Amino acid sequence: MPGSSPVFAQIMNALHPQEFARCVAQHPSPRRPRGLSAYDHFLALCFAQLTGREGLRDLVICLNARPSRAYQAGFRTHLTRTNLAYANEHRDWRTVAAVAQLLMRRTARLYADDPLEADLPQLSYALDASLIDLSLALFPWANWQHTDAAVKLHTLLSLRSPVPVWTAVTEGEVHDSRMLDEIPLEKGAFYVMDRGYLDFRRLARVQAAGAFFVVRSKCHLNLRTVNSQPVDKTLGLRCDQVVKLVTGWSRRRFRGPLRRVRIYDASCQGSLVFLTNHFELPAITVAELYRRRWQVELFFKWIKQHLRLRAFLGRTQNAVRLQVWAAICSYLLVAIAKKELGLPQSLHQILQVISVSVFEPVPLPELFAQRTLHTHEPNQLLLLP
């Protein structure tokens, strides 16, 4: 349709320029921008993610090759390697982080009505972190474990839908459990975590907020059994107990009993032990909640494989954080388009089509319409080979 805006502009329509301006106002730049506006800088970062650009030269050539289409896609200033590099170094990454938080809230509302398995709590979240590897020679400020460099992406993912509700980007050396002081807590919600988050002082904060946690236990943890309930061993369950902490240091930081559930995992030929502060859920549901935690691992795998988090457009800490947050924004924008338009394709399929159609003036529903190809019609002549 000739009158339609380019595909890239339709994807970016989920974020109004005035909303972006309010995010910029929260973190004003100490220096006057040089030629490239904050909004055009954000568009360029998202364009690089959606189309697979891996360098400043690559990005600038693609955008300047079709200036009229780039204008229709939303770009209003001329992009060069110099002004992009300057913006990556000096434009505050917290602006794009604020945009990501805004898009997360919008995505959460869109996916709020998605069905969840009947036996699982309606408010369930998985918390985990993943390292984004960097080159120590190119990014010496990200030194981690002497010979490696990395930044860490912390994510709180809703088990209802494959979209994050909270994220943070930190240095690689920041311990996972510190994020328990930062995540937003909802009363009555369940937070599912691996054993790296077993910090009883911080878990006490979760309980004080009226929330519940399911965390994998460590093997060296000293516990005293108070009560034991019968379990169905045909489901793999081995025990369902009420326990108390024995060590004085742990007992002073978390007062009260805990529930311990042990299940045999045939895939790893071993047992998994979970601790929770909820005593009414069936034991098999506690184990199922932890199994569903794997969704956050799939989220990390997806964005690392399909978005640009290996080759970076700048070497400074600000440039790296900008690109990571732009990748999250791009993921959320695609998820919003999928939900609002009711697209049956997967996020990966949508991203691949967008990457080769960014400048095409085709409505998104028409672009992703399912077309059935008929190889033979009754009134059609057959062509001999």
**Residue 182 Rama label (left phi>0; alpha psi -120 to 50; beta):** alpha
Q: Where are the domains of the chain?
A: 7-95+311-367
Residue 193's H or E segment, with its range, is: strand 190-193
Q: What is the mean pLDDT of residues 264-268?
A: 82
Asked whether the beta carbons of 134 and 142 are under 8 A apart, the reply is yes
| Pairing status of strand 190-193 against strand 212-216 | parallel
Asked whether the beta carbons of 191 and 183 are under 8 A apart, the reply is yes
- Please give the span between the terminal C-alpha atoms of the chain, in angstroms, as a whole number: 36
Percent of residues, the chain, with pLDDT higher than 90: 71
- Choose between 270 and 312: higher pLDDT: 312
In the prediction, which pLDDT does 383 show?
Answer: 42
pTM of the predicted protein model: 0.90
In the prediction, which pLDDT does 384 show?
Answer: 38
d(CA 364, CA 162): 21
| Upper half-sphere CA count for residue 211 (Cβ side, 13 Å) | 22
Asked whether the beta carbons of 57 and 81 are under 8 A apart, the reply is yes
d(CA 341, CA 137): 44
The token pair that represents 333 in the structure block: 């924008």
pLDDT tens digits for range 172-209: 999 999 999 999 999 999 999 999 999 999 999 999 99
pLDDT tens digits for range 281-290: 999 999 999 9
The token pair that represents 77 in the structure block: 């200033």
pLDDT tens digits for range 16-40: 989 999 999 998 877 666 678 999 9
Residue type, 148: D
Of 299, 302, 326, nearest to 47 (Cα)? 326
Where do runs of H (alpha helix) occur along the chain?
Answer: 7-12, 17-26, 38-51, 56-65, 67-72, 81-90, 93-110, 200-208, 248-253, 283-292, 294-306, 317-341, 347-355, 364-367
